[in-house]
């Protein structure tokens, strides 16, 4: 019983699903799951890989901007411990970012399934200037 509870707890805290990327399985989080994590105060670093102008216009609350084009040279800004979730307009950009990070040894990175567009479409909160 204790082992079953431990497994259930671990699964509840982890990503909703996993897809495939060049680096193997890509942990992915649904927008609803990420919103619950943020509401619960879980420590999550959000990395917006869209162009900086898009990030300035609107972003997930608390997200930092590291455009996909700059990712390789800004690796030092991403923690190697704790949970990191990357997002772009869609899962395609986030998966590319995941593959870059995974290739550089990051094993703590997941992606937002719906991307920023999906987050907005669901009416979830965004930060605007």
Q: What average pLDDT does the segment 96-114 reach?
A: 96
Secondary structure of residue 65 in the 3-state scheme: strand
What was the pLDDT predicted at 26? Answer: 87
CATH class of this structure's domain 17-121:
alpha beta
User: What is the residue-averaged pLDDT of the chain?
Assistant: 86
Secondary structure of residue 85 in the 3-state scheme: strand
**Tokens of residue 26, six digits:** 């890509």
List the chain domain ranges: 17-121
Within 10 angstroms of residue 16's Cβ, the number of other Cβ atoms is 15
**Reported pTM:** 0.83
**Position of tokens 């898009």?**
54
């Amino acid at each position: 019983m204790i082992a079953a509870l431990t497994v259930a707890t671990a699964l509840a805290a982890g990503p909703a699903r996993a897809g495939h990327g060049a680096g193997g399985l890509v942990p992915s989080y649904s927008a609803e799951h990420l919103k619950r994590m943020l509401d619960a105060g879980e420590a999550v670093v959000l990395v917006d890989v869209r162009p900086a102008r898009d990030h300035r216009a609107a972003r997930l609350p608390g997200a930092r901007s590291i455009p996909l084009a700059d990712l390789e040279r800004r690796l030092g800004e991403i923690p190697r411990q704790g949970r990191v979730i990357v997002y772009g307009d869609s899962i395609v950009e986030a998966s590319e970012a995941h593959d870059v990070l995974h290739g550089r040894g990051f094993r703590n990175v997941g992606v937002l399934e719906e991307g920023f567009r999906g987050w907005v479409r669901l009416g979830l909160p965004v930060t605007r200037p």
